[in-house]
Structure 1
């Protein structure tokens, strides 16, 4: 048996370890488009295929190709079966899985679910993009545990099973530099729903039409025959509104079925979008066959203070508060960041383009109380032109591939006491940084180096 590990980053290393243990007598090959000297160490006894045609020319005789999440299945040319860590996990996991997808908010929602469940005394495994590689923890999972899985479009591309509880957050165009188009992106998202059964749960965003489209996905032909051509939306519920008996916000309280659970003050994350994320998380927990007290919901919300680089408070310098939202790689996430504050704002935008349309973001900036917009990075000119076209009246400072300390210094010079400065780029980071983490860490360091 010949097994190809396609893509050799963090997940690829995990895949190799797992499948070598599962198939000790198999022949293993690592394939990666990067040069050999840019890859992690390949273990003895494992062959390597590297270079730009690694996935398309030399995998034909494989029995199994285990792709890394961001590698499109269409790019793999093989006669063997194309598989993934996500498929393997869903196929073998003995515990119930809560799967969360959407364009933004997945990590926060997953973390809130896990935090609430842990306060309720449950053993929870948080996996996917947010946690350790899923196959690393699979051998440790028991039937009585609960898995919370953050599912990106890349992980959902070819998923063959859906989670028992599917949570579909707000969706907007994203990753269009990897997906063939938005339809491909949305179709990948639909796999969180299409393999569900009628007894499974689907919770979806109350106003987002794309989330509704995912929730309305017909159930797969292998599922309950009695469904036939039924409207699958009849078997899904919206969160954050009272109509569908899920958790919503009213008069400063999280409520369900006209009953107050706890004050929204227990949620320590800023912004209306995080209130929605909390409603989604709490709604998912209510669907489990366990008892969670109101006090445990409150403690779970309160014990989660936010993930790094997700609208995270950094410091206050000279009366100006700085927030790191480097995870923001879409216009919609930057819009949510702007709406989280009532103070005058200095917004830092720009980076590597992913095919997004910035018109709606520019229109929101025009409506907001803005001090300045600083555009930087590879798509700075494009964003600046759209801002001017939408008659954004605040100061627009256009930088071209400036260092993060220069960007932060420029923001500090534009800001006045009482303002907030938000790094929410609405673009990927790979033009100037290793990752959004690297971008956020450089922002934090530059802010901390500002004089008081």
Structure 2
């Protein structure tokens, strides 16, 4: 019988991770399992769980009865760690945990954890290619791939498990993986975190508990990362556009040199645009080399012909992910690009710099307590002829655009994606790019960033003429 069998479990939040928790504790034969969620019960997938004895407390007052009658609280990532109900229960002796913490405690897998304000998803995808090119058996879990606890029993049968981890998942993590990767540290989710220090501190948990023999990979071109690296207990490796002593760097502006000064390839061989993707590729390369994969193998993999073209299994063969600088189609010599996964100003700035052509930009969404000053400057400096602003952040972005003296068009009266795309088509000229790169989360108008991107793609594909 499992060591969780005698405990009463409270699961807060019943999204993907909450359901993963429920399945896990059912398998553990826990004494009592109760799910708490602020959504109406009829909106949740409860039937199969209720049939197995899981109880549900739902609705706006879902936590009014408190959580002190449980042994463990399992917090879903979207639930703030320090809400009063959790804090009060913790003071009463209830243990607070998460799927991420449980996975780190219970699994014997070799884990590579990746975090950062932007680029962690792309870096994870590139790293998977690099490791597999080197003959490694790799499992994606967490934000990319299968929920963690569903694979806790067999994760250790893989050479490496890659976890892409957000600050929500890291805020109370007390164990660090043997390899940690930090793409960059800016500011995000200040509508969730108490302040910037808490946000950065959450990220820091990914490497703070490492042993001296463990490794953390940092971005030497990122100021905050350089500061944080000074206190890292593990071995530090770097990736940079400039020469570094330990890690991956660019020589003569484009040649990628891996750890130990071994040649990997050239940035012009990458299939995805933008300086940020060069950084992502170098982060993935550095990490793959830590596991023993040679730089050339990680970069190229096994070249093979597909028709008349050569394709590559390694990093340079990565062609992008859905909703990340995804080229939807070109119509009347106008390129339509879906970058709906750009939910921070920094990600949108990187997208703007990825295209030299004149651009029609669609931006805005929910407010997360971040500054749009850098976004406004990037719009001003990167050949944006018109900006469509949507969502509750449109007023804040417009203020910043006015401050920097932006002279292009600003349209704020559109909310329906089909109408926005139709109007963008009328404004764009041959050679232009219509770019959805919101710089914000999508809460309010769309279900999530995927729904937003899907609506954009559907509207583009339905354009006439």
TM surpasses 0.5? yes
**1:419 aligns with one of 403, 420, 432:** 432
Structure 2 alignment gaps of length 5 or more: 1-6, 301-312
Q: SS at the partner of 2:405?
A: coil
17, 23, 33: which one pairs with 1:17? 23
Corresponding residue for 2:239? Answer: 239
Distance 1:320 1:285, change over 3 A: same
| Contact preservation (8 Å) 1:253, 1:264 | yes
Equivalence for 2:250: 249
Q: CA RMSD in A?
A: 1.7
Residue 135 of structure 2: aligned partner: 121
Counterpart pick for 1:34 among 10, 16, 39: 39
Query: Which stretch of structure 1 is more off in the superposition, 130-139 or 207-216?
Result: 207-216
Aligned length: 435
Aligned partners of 1:53, 1:166: CA distance in 2, in Å?
39
What is the aligned partner in structure 1 of residue 162 from structure 2? 148
Instruction: Please give the residue correspondences for 1:110-259 in structure 2 after superposition, counting only pairs within 5 Å.
Output: 110-142=124-156, 145-217=159-231, 219=233, 235-240=235-240, 241-251=242-252, 252-256=254-258, 257-259=260-262
Separation (CA, whole Å) in 1 of partners of 2:63 and 2:323: 33
User: Deviation of residue 56 (structure 1)?
Assistant: 5.8
Partner-residue secondary structure (3-state), 1:286: helix
Following superposition, the deviation at residue 144 of structure 1 comes to 5.3
Q: How much does 1:279 deviate?
A: 0.2
Which residue number corresponds to residue 50 of structure 2?
43
Q: 1:9–1:40: 8 Å Cα contact kept in structure 2?
A: no
Deviation of residue 39 (structure 1)? 1.6
| Equivalent in the alignment of 1:228 | none
Q: Runs of 4 or more off by more than 4 Å in structure 1?
A: none
Confirm or deny: 8 A CA contact 1:100 1:106 kept in the other structure.
yes
Alignment correspondent of 1:83: 97
Q: Aligned to 2:97, what secondary structure does the other structure show?
A: strand
- SS at the partner of 2:453? helix
Q: Which residue of 2 aligns with 1:306?
A: 320
| Equivalent residues of 1:3, 1:65 under 8 A apart | yes
Cα deviation, residue 218, structure 1: 5.7
Give the deviation of 1:447 after TM superposition. 0.8
CA distance change for structure 1 residues 156 and 107 in 2, over 3 Å: closer, same or farther?
same
Structure 1, 144-153 or 73-82: larger mean CA deviation: 73-82
Instruction: Give 3-state SS (helix, strand or coil) of 2:244's partner.
Output: helix
1:92 and 2:110 are equivalent in the alignment: no
Does the 8 Å contact 1:206/1:239 carry over to 2? yes
2:270 matches 1:267:
yes
Alignment partner of 1:60 is 2:65: no
Secondary structure, in 3 states, of the residue corresponding to 1:104?
Answer: coil
Q: Which ranges of structure 1 fall in alignment gaps of 5 or more residues?
A: 220-231
1:363: Cα distance to partner? 1.2
